[in-house]
Each structure stands twice: as structure tokens, then as C-alpha cells.
Amino acid sequence: MSLNAIAQKLMEPGKGILAADESEPTIEKRFAKINLPSTLELRRDYREMLFRSSHAMTNYISGVILTEETLKQEAADGTPFRAILADEDVIPGIKVDRGAFPMPGESGEKITEGLDGLRQRLEEYARLGAGFAKWRAVITINDIAPTRNNIRANAHALARYAILCQEAGIVPVVEPEVVGDGDPGNHSLERCAQVTGDVLENVFKELRLAGVDLSGMLLKPNMVLPGVNSRDRPSVDDIAQRTYEVLREQVPAAVPGIAFLSGGQTDEEATAHLSAINKIQNKPWPITFSYGRALQNVALRLWAGRRENFAQAQAAFTHRAKMNSLAASGEWTP
Ligand code: 13P
């Protein structure tokens, strides 16, 4: 399949992406909240619960982002996860960055690592059937951040990753995330809009410089939101409008789709905002979800580490997937 055909299939109307690519430190944090250790077996069971939610996977999910461990893993009965996903017509994707590390200097920012050896790793992932990949850059807002240096370094790394993916026949999902835990004074809705626009402008500049085919990639941005500690309380429609305006200004129409991250919003907020954005008419690209937490929060709690809870957890996951599927068409109502 061509890069554009894969990207379009990921953006199939009424479907979105499940981000199940929590790194080991992240899944350890998620499991710790429900008092579970992060063992190989529990990670396998948890992901098996999600992937065997066949109604949700078949009807509402176009692709799943996996870790390398999961891409190569088998369910408890020996069926490779890749075979389960293939039966459900879900495209397997792979997280290829190695995480965000402190940027040299005093700004408190992060730079994503993982370019060394990436070309070889991508060849292997392509052989294993990965149709798309993900690389997450983290942009911090504080008194002095983001700095120009950090925006440029992260944009440049995203572009190098993206062109390597395309060379391997894999669709790059380009994820520059402006994170929401800035201080009240400096992270209003407007500040987030300005920083998100600035970051996207730099990302597309670097993508073009690197020769990335914009019709063979997807963008995974943050929504434009006030920081978690901000006193700013915009309405759902304000957030949708501001998010759309920033994207409209910066994202070329050649990009086949935009799939948002949930970034710590509550499950309902993530759904409501996506639906409000999709109610806006005549958008140049389709817009859907690529959620981790906002699809998994309730299911993770209900699973609680026990295979006998699979059905209950799967029902909760299916419900969220269905709500976000409606939101991807602008048809969700509270
Ligand atoms: P959240 O939706 O939980 O923010 O995760 C999406 C993701 O893939 C972050 O990289």
C-alpha cells in the first residue's frame, strides 16, 4: 500500500487510533495507580484485553500504536497480537522514539532521543508489518520556555524521523505535544494557541526541508487548552474554535489527516472537544482521535490485573471507543 493509502485508511470515517504504546516507565506508573507491578505477563494480559475487544476494534479503531515488545508479542494462547489485529482489519503501528530527556541548559525543557540506528529498526518493523510509526516531541511552557533552540531541535528530530519512516514505507505520525502543566500565569488558552502555532510552523518548515511527502504522514497535535493550573476557563466551543484556527493557519491541506492526543483531559472532555472541532464545517483535513488515557482509563481500572474481568473492562473500552467514533464525525452529544 502507498503511504497515502495507509494514511487514508487510518483516517477512515468514524474510526481513530488507539495509543497503547506506553513505554515501560509509563505503563509502570499506570499499573502502580491500581497497585499492580509492571510484569511482562500483566502487560501482555492488559493489551490482550484491549486488542480482543473485537467490536470496538473492528468498528471504531483503524490503527493501534504498539511498543516493540507488544509488536513481537503473543496473546496467552500463543496467537501473535499482529494476527489478532489483522483479523480485525486494524493497522499495527510502532512507537519508535526512545523518550524525552532533559535538554542541556536551565530551561527545564526536553528533547526526544532515538535517531541513532533508527533506519535499521524501521526496516525490521516494516518486515514485522508495521504500517505507521509515532515519535513524540514534548514542548514545555514556563517563564522562559519554550526556547527557540528547543523548538528547532525537536522539529528537526521529528523531520529526520519522518523521512526515515517514509524511506522504509512506514507512515510517520508526527507528534509535537505542547504539554499542559505550565504555571497559571504563563499558560492561558491564548499562550497555548501562540506556542502551538509557533511549534507547528517550525515542524512543517523542517518537514519540507527534509523532503517529507506531506501526503504520506499524519499529524498528532495537542488541542489548544489552558494549562492544568490555569484560571482560564474557556468553553468547549472556544477550545474547539481556537484549536481549529491554529491548525488551519499552520497545517497544509496536503496532510491527509489530524489525530489528536488526549494529553490528560478527562475522558468526556477529550470526546466533547473532538466532537466540537468536528462540527466545524469545510475543514481541509479529516480530524480524529489518537488517544491513550482517554480510551483506557476506565478499562484499566475495571481490568485490575485479572483475566476474569476482561468482559467488563472491554465493555468500558468499547463505550469510550464508540463515543470517540461519534465525536470523530461531530455527532457526539453529552
Ligand atoms: P494520551 O492520549 O494519553 O495523551 O496519549 C497519547 C499518546 O500517544 C501520547 O504520546
ipTM score for this prediction? 0.93
Report the alpha-carbon distance of residue 261 to residue 179 in Å, rounded: 11
Of these residues, 109, 175, 177, 206, which one is catalytic? 175
Is the pLDDT score of 94 beyond 80?
A: yes
pTM: 0.98
Q: How far is the CA of 289 from the centre of ligand 1 (A)?
A: 10
Q: Whose CA is nearest to atom 4 of ligand 1?
A: 263
> Mean pLDDT across the chain, nearest whole number?
97
Give tens-digit pLDDT for 44-90. Answer: 999 999 999 999 999 999 999 999 999 999 999 999 999 999 999 99
On the question of a cis peptide bond just before residue 221, with omega within 30 degrees of 0, the verdict is: no
User: Do 168 and 123 touch, CB atoms closer than 8 A?
Assistant: yes
Query: Roughly what angle, to the nearest 10 degrees, separates helices 24-33 and 40-51?
Result: 80
What average pLDDT does this structure show over 154-163? Answer: 99
Tell me how far apart the terminal alpha carbons of the chain are, to the nearest angstrom: 38
Phi, psi for 109 (deg, rounded to 5): -95, 175
| Cα dihedral: 328, 95, 173, 158 (round 10) | 140
Confidence of residue 240 (pLDDT cuts 50, 70, 90): very high
What average pLDDT does this structure show over 144-161? Answer: 98
Report the alpha-carbon distance of residue 164 to residue 146 in Å, rounded: 26
Is the pLDDT score of 128 beyond 80?
A: yes
User: Do 77 and 84 touch, CB atoms closer than 8 A?
Assistant: no
Tell the residue number behind the cell numbers 533508527, with chain if given. Answer: 118
Confidence of residue 182 (pLDDT cuts 50, 70, 90): low
Of these residues, 9, 110, 134, 220, which one is catalytic? 220
263 in contact with ligand 1, CB cutoff 6 A: yes
82 in contact with ligand 1, CB cutoff 6 A: no
Q: Tell me which of 11-20, 95-104, 179-188 is least confident.
A: 179-188
29: annotated active-site residue? no
Confidence of residue 181 (pLDDT cuts 50, 70, 90): confident
CA 320 → CA 201, 250, 292, 309, 331, distances in Å? 32, 30, 11, 17, 14
Tell the residue number behind the cell numbers 468498528, with chain if given. Answer: 59
User: Do 262 and 289 touch, CB atoms closer than 8 A?
Assistant: yes
Is the pLDDT score of 185 beyond 90?
A: no
Structure confidence at residue 184 (pLDDT): 62
Q: How far is the CA of 261 from the centre of ligand 1 (A)?
A: 5
Report the alpha-carbon distance of residue 259 to residue 288 in Å, rounded: 5
Is the pLDDT score of 183 beyond 70?
A: no
Closest ligand 1 atom to 296 CA: 3
Report the alpha-carbon distance of residue 195 to residue 190 in Å, rounded: 9
20 in contact with ligand 1, CB cutoff 6 A: no
Is the pLDDT score of 155 beyond 90?
A: yes
